[in-house]
């Protein structure tokens, strides 16, 4: 799973791409590492108590959240959790089944460590982007505990990432507003079907250093 990703688009452009209210989000573009705040697209119910009405009742909005959810109390000295790998984990299942806790993480590329360079034997950074959508959405969930944080969902790696020795990748949603709405508003039976590898044929990779 990525330890770094980029969102090379300003807040206003991201809001237009996802039909989200931006407010005064200051994001101007750049990279995001664990422990940093980043733009997150939510269904807009973070501060509303009580049962959620059926369907889309509020305006989608973009807010800053921290990448990395504090671990369960039973693991007090562990690092923040960056990814959701076990969809049946008691730590995550409530957030996954209740759609208001699902969110979208906009990105333009994500980085995975690849195989060593044939030139010098050093591991290379592999930056993956989607050729069919300049700004794409990674599926995620948010939690509010000590900090307002999020974690990315993981799935089995596609062929492009397996070629670099990776076994997982972030869940990337199709360039379809209806599919994004399923993740933000749909039942878990429908949303879970989106947890699958993105097609290798729709991805481009840039290796650093280049071959």
pLDDT digits (tens, 9 = 90+) for 27-44: 999 999 999 999 999 997
Q: What is the CATH number of domain 4-73+80-108+133-155+171-198?
A: 3.90.1680.20
Query: What is the chain's alpha carbon radius of gyration, rounded to the nearest angstrom?
Result: 17
The answer to whether 66 touches 36, Cβ cutoff 8 Å, is yes
Backbone phi and psi for residue 143, each to the nearest 5 degrees, phi listed first: -135, 145
Residue 211: the pLDDT is: 60
Backbone phi and psi for residue 6, each to the nearest 5 degrees, phi listed first: -120, 145
Residue 90 has pLDDT above 90, yes or no: yes
When pLDDT is cut at 50, 70 and 90, the band that residue 49 belongs to is very low
Mean local confidence (pLDDT), 116-125: 85
Please, what is the average pLDDT of the chain?
A: 91
DSSP SS3 for 14: helix
**Mind giving me the DSSP string for 162-177?**
HTTT-SEEE-B--S-H
Mean local confidence (pLDDT), 44-55: 55
pTM over 0.85: yes
Of 21-25, 197-201, 203-207, least confident by mean pLDDT is 21-25
* Higher per-residue confidence, 28 vs 72: 28
When pLDDT is cut at 50, 70 and 90, the band that residue 161 belongs to is very high
Residue 55 has pLDDT above 60, yes or no: no
The answer to whether 144 touches 132, Cβ cutoff 8 Å, is no
Tell me the percentage of the chain whose pLDDT exceeds 90. Answer: 75
């Amino acid at each position: 799973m990525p330890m770094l990703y980029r969102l090379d688009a300003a807040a206003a452009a991201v809001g237009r791409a996802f039909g989200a209210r931006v407010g005064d989000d200051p994001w101007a573009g750049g990279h995001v590492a664990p422990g940093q705040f980043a733009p997150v697209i939510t269904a807009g119910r973070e501060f509303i108590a009580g049962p959620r009405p059926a369907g889309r009742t509020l305006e989608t909005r973009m807010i800053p959240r921290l990448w990395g959810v504090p671990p369960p109390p039973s693991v007090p000295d562990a690092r923040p959790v960056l990814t959701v790998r076990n969809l049946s984990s008691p730590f995550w299942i409530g957030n996954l089944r209740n759609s208001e806790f699902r969110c979208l993480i906009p990105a333009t590329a994500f980085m995975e460590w690849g195989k060593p360079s044939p030139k010098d034997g050093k591991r290379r950074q592999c930056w993956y982007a989607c050729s069919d959508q300049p700004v794409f959405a990674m599926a995620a969930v948010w939690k509010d505990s000590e900090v307002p944080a999020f974690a990315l969902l993981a799935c089995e790696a596609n062929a492009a990432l397996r070629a670099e020795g990776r076994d997982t990748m972030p869940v990337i949603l199709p360039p379809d507003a209806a599919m994004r709405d399923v993740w933000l508003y749909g039942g878990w039976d429908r949303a879970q079907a989106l947890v699958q590898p993105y097609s290798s044929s729709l991805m481009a990779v840039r290796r650093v250093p280049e071959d």
